[in-house]
Amino acid sequence: MQIPATFVMGATGRLGHVLRRHWAGSAPGIGGGIGGGPVLWGAREPGPGLTRCDPLGDPAGLARAAGGARALLCLAGITPAAAARGADFGDDARLALAALGAAETVGAHAFVCSSAAVYGRASGTGGLLREDDALTPAAPYGEAKAAMEAAVLERAARTGQGVTILRIGNVAGADAALGGWRPGFTLDAFPDGTTPARSYIGPGMLASVLGALMGALMEARDLPQVLNIAQPGAVEMGALLTAAGLPWATRPAPETAIARVAFETGRLTALVPVPPATPQGLVADWRADQAIG
């Protein structure tokens, strides 16, 4: 599958590093094959292989940097860790709107990354969270992402700009379990003995899925404005660590803990073939990603 020339904002974050490892200078087709236009990697600070851009301070410069792109992927955002250091969660919406402005200028379709955090404690219909469910974020990070989504959709409705909001589930290795594991690691355990279950996607699979979605632009296929991004099913964090051979212990889950976050992925799998998530498959993908790095 061929995909268009792509500009990526936020190339130095965790997901940016994942995509840079797997795309290696040009964007992949589904299954990891390389094809299509070049990828330009945008970041606020200069570095090897990076195109310097300041989305908030120099929006015209961002548009110049993205010139010629048919897809603009916004990975830039404020993490809880950055907010703890004093960053403003309000910049989530401002960064996304800057991405839309640049996409409007250069005629690109915008892909804006969001999070499962917008669903909060909701369980969804039949235990699955759908893209058109009401958003009920339970923490400032989720509230910021929900506000960002609302701002993006409002602007797109006014301007007609093509946009797809990507609600990305847990990415194996960039998560609190595999990514956060240390000796003595503990997980919340609920009264039924389970550990937190989440919708997951492997890092290599994420790169392939995003490449396939961008490739749909070259086929003139319509993309929905909101997409859950995960492999079908939910995986317990304890099972994931066990599959990786990483020891862990439990602690009683606090009342605020969320036992299960499971996406409905029908919209995604109608566009892209995505295999179900399994602990073993996610660990294999994670290890393959580590080997590339």
pLDDT tens, position by position, 73-130: 999 999 999 999 999 999 999 999 999 999 999 999 999 999 999 999 888 778 999 9
Q: Which of 53, 50, 54 is nearest to 39 (CA)?
A: 50
**Rounded Cα–Cα distance for residues 158 and 170 (Å):** 32
Task: Give the burial class of 251: count Cβ atoms within 10 A of its Cβ; 0-12 exposed, 13-18 middle, 19 or more buried.
Answer: exposed
Q: What is the per-residue pLDDT for 2?
A: 63
- Residue 34, pLDDT score: 35
Q: What was the pLDDT predicted at 28?
A: 39
Q: Is residue 1 part of a domain?
A: no
Q: For 152-177, write each residue's pLDDT tens digit.
A: 999 999 999 999 999 999 999 999 99
Please tell me whether the overall predicted TM-score, pTM, comes out greater than 0.85 for this model: yes
Residue 249 domain flag: yes
Q: Is residue 45 part of a domain?
A: yes
The residues, any chain, with a CB within 8 Å of residue 107's CB and separated by 6 or more, are 70
pLDDT per residue as tens digits for the range 221-250: 889 999 999 999 999 999 999 999 999 999
Q: Which domain holds residue 256?
A: 6-292
| Number of domains within the chain | 1
Please state the rounded mean pLDDT for residues 45-70.
Answer: 92
Confidence tier at 55 by pLDDT (50, 70, 90) = very high
- 149 Cβ partners below 8 Å, 6+ apart? 112, 114, 118, 135, 165, 226
- 200 within some domain: yes
Give the confidence band of 36 by pLDDT, cuts at 50, 70, 90. Answer: low
Average pLDDT, the chain: 92
CATH number at residue 114: 3.40.50.720
Q: Check residue 3 and give its pLDDT.
A: 62
Is 67 contained in some domain? yes
Examine residue 216 and state whether it is found in any structural domain, yes or no.
Answer: yes
Q: Is the pLDDT of residue 273 over 50?
A: yes
Q: Quote the pLDDT of residue 37.
A: 67
Indicate whether 33 pLDDT > 70: no
pLDDT at 35: 44
Amino acid making up residue 126: G
Give the residue from 196, 191, 178, 197 showing the smallest Cα distance to 262: 197
Interatomic CA distance for residues 253 and 74, integer angstroms: 34
